[in-house]
Amino acid sequence: MMYTAYYRTQFFNRIKNNKCLHQDECWEWNGSIDNRNGWPTFSINSKSRSAVRIAYQMYYDIKIDVGIFKTCRNRNCVNPNHMVLMGSHEYFWKQVKILHKDECWEWQGNIDGHGYGRVMIDGKFTSTHKYAYSTFRHLNNNMFVCHECDNPKCCNPYHLFEGTREDNYDDMMIKGRQATGTRIQLEAY
Ligand SMILES: [Zn+2]
Ligand SMILES: [Zn+2]
């Protein structure tokens, strides 16, 4: 039993019309909302957590550490029947707006203070353009991934190239725009 009866009751009471929930319909969240991203939140031991993730874990009574994708696209819904689990990789690409190869494919998820996408993959934080690049090309650990398009959110592998400089993160990104790294030709996919 992952959650105590107390938390289960508290959680359930924060769902609108909780006396007559139907599994096909959205379960609208009436509790707190994260003011940074608008997602439903629920506090456990005074720590604010994603109410979507908790709903899933409570319903199926399992602990999950992979991404959850909402099939109903309703941000405020906490119905576990409207959620599917995803591996990190699928979850990542669901959050990239994929367009023509000449256009920027912008990351739609969390952004760091420098405008770069940040994502947790297999328990480790990485920058989104670096992960995107490594999906298509083997990336050596000591190499950096730079943007040819100057758009820090962009994950289009055609706009990314591998650089060799060993400067720090910010410096690398700024200088990377002067394109001194080796341009890697990507294979068609
Ligand atoms: Zn829904
Ligand atoms: Zn781009």
> Ligand 1 centre from 28 Cα, in Å?
8
> Ligand 2 centre from 158 Cα, in Å?
8
Nearest Cα neighbor of 86 from 67, 70, 72, 62 is: 67
For 101, the domain range is 95-176
> Ligand 1 centre from 131 Cα, in Å?
30
Ligand with smallest separation from the Cα of 96 = 2
Helical axes 5-13 vs 51-60, angle rounded to 10°: 130
Q: pLDDT tens, 84-132? A: 888 888 888 989 999 999 999 999 988 888 899 988 777 778 899 999 9
> Does 140 have pLDDT greater than 70?
yes
User: Is residue 184 situated within a structural domain?
Assistant: no
Alpha-carbon span 42 to 55, nearest angstrom: 10
> Quick one: CA torsion of 139, 124, 70, 43, rounded to 10 degrees?
-170
How much is the pLDDT for 182? Answer: 44
How much is the pLDDT for 178? Answer: 43
Please tell me whether residues 78 and 143 are part of one structural domain.
no
Domain count, the chain: 2
Please tell me whether residues 101 and 168 are part of one structural domain.
yes
> Does 12 have pLDDT greater than 60?
yes
The model carries a pTM of: 0.57
Q: pLDDT tens, 157-175? A: 999 998 865 433 444 455 4
Phi-psi region of 165 (alpha: psi -120 to 50; beta: other; left: phi over 0): beta
User: Is residue 186 situated within a structural domain?
Assistant: no
> Ligand 1 centre from 74 Cα, in Å?
5
Nearest Cα neighbor of 95 from 153, 141, 15 is: 153
In this prediction, residues 26-46 reach a mean pLDDT of 93
> Ligand 1 centre from 17 Cα, in Å?
14
> Ligand 2 centre from 78 Cα, in Å?
34
Q: pLDDT tens, 38-81? A: 899 999 999 999 999 999 999 999 988 788 888 888 999 999 99
Ligand with smallest separation from the Cα of 26 = 1
How much is the pLDDT for 143? Answer: 81
User: Is residue 40 situated within a structural domain?
Assistant: yes
Please tell me whether residues 162 and 104 are part of one structural domain.
yes
User: Is residue 188 situated within a structural domain?
Assistant: no
